[in-house]
Structure 1
Amino acid sequence: MEEEICIKKGKENILLNVRKQSFFDMGRGLLFYPREKAPALIFYSSHPKLDAIHSCFLFFDFLAIWLDKNNNVLEIRKIRPWQIHSNHDGDWKKLIEIPISKRYDDKIKLLVGGAKGLNR
């Protein structure tokens, strides 16, 4: 199911279409999607300390964006392929995964300032 979310980063409001994922989808995430066709995904968590992500078997980088309940950005991290465990230490409510691809270049530039902000 697609939904539009407004991400709040400082004074910026960034609109993004995301595909809502269930708890069971969290283990799969962006697996089995080709980079340019991969959608941005959103996960909701009621147990943020337990919900870590991985990028095993994934062959492209993506942004992980942890949000609070009001969609304020808590942390943005570039996740590389084959990372076993990544999580935000604080109390987050939503996680967005955005594939680093041409499809999302404009959103990535707003979030991290483009390629220099990503250390590609």
Structure 2
Amino acid sequence: MSMSPRPGNLDPAIAARLKRSADGLVPAIAQQYDTGEVLMLGWMDDEALHRTLTTGRCTYWSRSRQEYWVKGDTSGHFQHVKSVALDCDADTVLVRVDQVGAACHTGSRTCFDDDVLLRAAD
């Protein structure tokens, strides 16, 4: 049986705007703040978003491990938060970060480097 993420301490005004999936999560896209490079996609519940907003470090909810994790605590590849925004539907979070080291768990700079399905012609 999987544990669901807990509601958290997120500002009620922000929490009221979020459109979460059935499991209480919103996708969170991490983007390099100065280049626009898309780094990774993680998942946040209210508490993970609260921690991200208040600590300046990205906190995600691991769906496989059923626990919170802060990017860089294990790998040393930190994400320092520069800004956080909701999309127009309030169902996706964009976190603009200063990425230190690799963003992908494979060691790649981004999670989107290795499996390009279509590349524009030069």
Give the TM-score, by structure 1 length. 0.32
Rg larger for:
2
Where is the helix percentage greater, Structure 1 or Structure 2? 1
Give the TM-score, by structure 2 length. 0.32
